[in-house]
Amino acid sequence: MESPLILSLDMHGVPHRWISWQQACFYHAKNLVAWTMGERTFTFHGGTSRTTGERSSITTHSIIAIRGKAMASKGFNQVPPLNNRELFRRDRHLCAYCGGDFHYFRLTRDHIKPLSRGGRDTWMNVVTACRQCNGAKRNRLPEEANMELLYAPYVPNKAEYLILTNRRIFADQMEFLAQHLSAHSRLMPAGAEA
């Protein structure tokens, strides 16, 4: 079984990042865990005490809030880094022009306003496109190529980015993160409302 990733929050309950079980144990051992939540718990065992003969253990939940400055470095509204994997996941592997659902290796990053024409490599200027549509569009604007965008780009917030970057999210973690999704998010679980 793959090691679980623990969702870390600041003391106010704002999602921060995924941490390993080792990092979670460190925060517990240093008494930096303010509170925990989530249905899933994990117990990790250490060595045996020479004096008592008891084996040490730390139990953590799937969601933990960390005290102090450990969470101060990155704000919730910080723009997440752009890369193809998260872009394709944001756009659900759908070509923004033909609407086709494609495998990762058949997709490209299309700049709505091409870089050669002053466009920038930002979340708001890129969409997922299949190789055929990207080739047909070339270095033109969509309207110049008679190609209509089927959906609008957007910048994922921190909760959306955390969903995009983890392939193995537990149900309790997803439920927590879904509360922080923006109304226009394509990551909103079916039947849920932001």
Q: What is the pLDDT of residues 125-153, one digit of tens each?
A: 999 999 999 999 999 999 999 999 999 99
Asked whether 156 and 186 are in contact (CB, 8 A), the reply is no
User: How many other C-beta atoms can be found within 10 angstroms of the C-beta atom of residue 127?
Assistant: 26
Domain check: are 68 and 127 in the same one?
no
In a domain? residue 120? yes
Q: pTM here?
A: 0.73
Name the band, by pLDDT with cuts 50, 70 and 90, for residue 64.
very high
Whether residues 19 and 46 share a domain: the answer is yes
The pLDDT of 76-84, averaged and rounded, is 79
By residue range, what is the domain housing residue 130? Answer: 84-137
Total domain count, the chain: 2
DSSP string, the chain: -PPPPEEEE-TTS-EEEEE-HHHHHHHHHTT-EEEEEEEEEEEEEEEE-TTT-PEEEEEEEEEEEE-GGGGTTS-TTSPPPP-HHHHHHHTTTB-TTT--B--GGGEEEEESS-GGGT---SGGGEEEEEHHHHHHHTTS-TTTTT---SS------HHHHHHHH-S---HHHHHHHHTT--TT-TTPPTT---
- pLDDT-derived band at 75 (thresholds 50, 70, 90) equals low
My answer on whether 14 and 35 are in the same domain is: yes
Q: Is residue 165 part of a domain?
A: no
Q: What is the pLDDT of residue 194?
A: 41
- Does residue 35 belong to any structural domain of this protein? yes
Residue 192 pLDDT exceeds 60: no
Q: Which of 116, 137, 158 is the last residue before a domain boundary?
A: 137
- Amino acid 68: pLDDT: 80
